[in-house]
Chains A and B, each alone.
Chain A
Amino acid sequence: MTLLGNHGGFILAAYGIAIVVVAALFVWVVVDGRNQRRALAELEARGVRRRSGGGREGGAA
């Protein structure tokens, strides 16, 4: 604490919360990606194909 001065607790809390929230954001995006890839693989395994087969599905899917 003395290394970070009299207010070391505030500094550690700020960096700690930042690490937790950024890590949560990262975990959310990684887990979501894994879930989407699994769902896509299941559909493809059932023989479902998109009509475009690789075209534009940005706006209205």
Chain B
Amino acid sequence: MGLLDYANPTRFLGLVAAVMPWLVGLTVAVFAAGLWLVFFNAPADYQQGETVKIMYIHVPFAWLSMFCYVTMAGSALGTLVWRHPLADVSAKCAAPIGAAFTFLALVTGALWGKPMWGTWWVWDARLTSVLVLFIMYLGLIALQETIEDPARAAKAAAVLTLVGVVNIPVIKFSVDWWNTLHQPSSVFRMGGSSIDMSMLVPLLIMAVAFSLLFVIVHLMAMRNEILRRRIRTMRMIEAAGADGR
């Protein structure tokens, strides 16, 4: 059975039911390992002290805020180009998760910024472009909820998602293109990571843990959306039957 066979929602629901217990177990184990390393193994930063512990959640949230949008952009292509039956389900269900992760990136960033920079917020390119991303997520959620027909909502949201994808490289390279209070990239940069392994390993493990969490919530939300559309179809059939009587 190929990957495209899971385009069938019924097969997809079966796959989700089969992998979910393993995914949950794996996620709990990776979170336990990551949090143990963060709180009992990783050293304090020589400049920031223990405040660096905020990095272990702030950075994964920031990465996932962009990853979620890239997932939605891929799904938008799937909707518009390949008309994949699950593509718009995927895009619709990723939006609230992306909004939550972006919100958490902004809030944890502010809570890290206040003691380190002396301010909760500055209108620099990085922070402002992430705020724009958050507003875009809210706009996409509103658009999807406004149009009742899922197929029409999917097309409108897919076009808007693809227009908004231009913000992702702006977020990523904002710290290189403009003078920002936010520090430049420390992990994914030319010449390799500038973070010591004692901090990099827990950071990457926490990033994997949050990525797994994203996969779990996304799959659960997709399962719910498939059921919601199934219910909508059945209610329409029931209403048509009642009219015919």
Which A residues are within 8 Å of any B CB, using their own CB?
3-8, 10-11, 13-15, 17-18, 21-22, 24-26, 28-30, 32-33, 36-37, 39-40, 43, 46, 48-51, 54-61
Contacting residues, chain A, for B111 (C-beta < 8 A): 10, 13-14, 17
Q: What is the minimal beta-carbon distance from B172 to any residue of chain A, in angstroms?
A: 22
Q: Tell me the smallest distance from the CB of B212 to a CB of chain A, in Å.
A: 12
Number of interchain pairs (Cβ within 8 Å): 133
Contacts of B217 in A (CB 8 A): 25-26, 29
**Known pairs A15-B57, A58-B89, A60-B150. 19 more at Cβ < 8 A?**
A7-B115, A10-B112, A14-B108, A18-B61, A21-B100, A24-B100, A25-B96, A29-B221, A33-B223, A33-B224, A33-B227, A43-B231, A46-B238, A49-B234, A49-B237, A56-B8, A58-B7, A59-B150, A61-B236
If A40-B227, A50-B234 touch, does A57 touch B108 (CB 8 Å cutoff)? no
**8 Å CB contacts to A: which residues of B8-48?**
8-10, 44
Docked CA distance A36–B8 (Å):
19
User: Could you say which of B100, B112, B227 contacts A14, with CB atoms under 8 Å apart?
Assistant: B112
Categorize the interface residue count of chain B: 35 or more
Residues of B whose CB lies within 8 Å of any CB of A are 7-10, 44, 49-51, 53-54, 57-58, 61, 79, 83-89, 96-97, 100, 103-104, 107-108, 111-112, 114-115, 149-151, 154, 213, 217, 220-221, 223-224, 226-238, 241
List 27 interface pairs A-B (beta carbons < 8 Å), by A numbering.
A4-B53, A5-B49, A10-B115, A11-B54, A14-B58, A14-B111, A15-B53, A18-B57, A21-B103, A25-B96, A25-B217, A28-B96, A29-B221, A29-B224, A30-B220, A32-B224, A36-B227, A36-B228, A43-B231, A48-B235, A48-B237, A48-B238, A58-B85, A58-B89, A58-B229, A61-B230, A61-B236
- Do A54 and B10 have beta carbons less than 8 Å apart? yes
Which residues from chain B contact A8 at a C-beta distance below 8 Å?
50
Q: Look across to chain A and name the residue whose beta carbon is closest to the beta carbon of B60.
A: A18
